[in-house]
Amino acid sequence: MIETNNHLLKQLSSQDAALLTPMLEHVDLKQNDILFEPLQEIPYVYFFNGGLSSEVATNADGQRIEVGCIGYEGFSSVPVILGAGSSPHRSFMQAGASALRIGSADLRGAMAASLTLSSLLMRFAHVFMCQIAATALADGRYKVEQRLARWLLMSQDRLGQELPLTHDFLGLMLGVRRPSVTDALHVLEGERAITAERMLIKVRDRSKLETFAGDAYGAPEAEYRRVISHKWPA
């Protein structure tokens, strides 16, 4: 078996684990490390043992917004397994962790050799696309405070109670200016759901965050449980 905390790799059959193991390399990823740049060849796919990666879309004017995040439940570089060698998005580590990486060509070769491996990775791609769709819905239909609660829940699923998130990153995630982030944090603090410090947010009461987020949170997570594993998030 592969020694890992990655929830997808733990789902592999012994045959698929034996297929991938010789091609996997342990690496340490730090905060702000780049995983891939827009329209540049994606050399590696990373299966995270922890941490939090962020995928960001940028327009011609340089305006940016996060469209998805991935932690130990999955892997970076979803376009690779869909047959695309690059993406118009940018991906980086918001919170660092160790990971197992594999060359993009090696992973595509392993998928061609194993239908069960290909099926598992494709199902995660489906879940990630559901997350992107849920983010678009939240950005267009929910208040900033609800969107923030949703994203803090998603971060807690991957990082635990203490979230090393800056106001600047939260602004990128929500697509709003820093004062709007501060106002939204104050609302959630007032509800005693979180404690916000300069570069750290602590979740005090997850149930209150879930109530505040409402149905802005939960659909992609339910889909992960339906098509991959009912054990995530724990």
16 and 82 within one domain:
yes
Which of 137, 171, 199 corresponds to the end of one domain? 137
Q: Which residue shows structure tokens 């992609």?
A: 220
pLDDT digit string (tens) for 174-224? 888 888 988 999 999 999 999 998 789 999 999 999 999 999 999 999 999
pLDDT digit string (tens) for 15-31? 999 999 999 999 999 99
157 and 69 within one domain:
no
Q: Is the pLDDT of residue 234 over 80?
A: no
126 and 154 within one domain:
no
Q: How many domains does one find in the chain?
A: 2
Instruction: Report d(CA 139, CA 149) in Å as an integer.
Output: 13
A 10 A CB-CB count for 28 gives: 11
Instruction: Report d(CA 75, CA 78) in Å as an integer.
Output: 7
pLDDT given at position 167: 84
- Per the structure, the complete domain to which residue 104 belongs is given by 9-137
pLDDT digit string (tens) for 104-139? 999 999 999 999 999 999 999 999 999 999 999 999
Task: For residue 1, name the pLDDT band (cuts at 50, 70, 90).
Answer: low
A 10 A CB-CB count for 141 gives: 10
CATH, residue 122: 2.60.120.10
Domain assignment present for residue 64? The answer is: yes
pLDDT digit string (tens) for 73-105? 999 999 999 999 999 999 999 999 999 999 999
Which of 87, 107, 137 corresponds to the end of one domain? 137
CB 71 within 8 A of CB 41: no
Q: Which amino acid is at 88?
A: P
99 and 14 within one domain:
yes
- pTM listed for this prediction: 0.95
Spell 155-189 as b/e; 16+ CB within 10 A means b: bbbbbeeebbbbbebbbbbbbbeeebbeebbebbe
Both tokens assigned to 187:
């609302």
149 and 169 within one domain:
yes
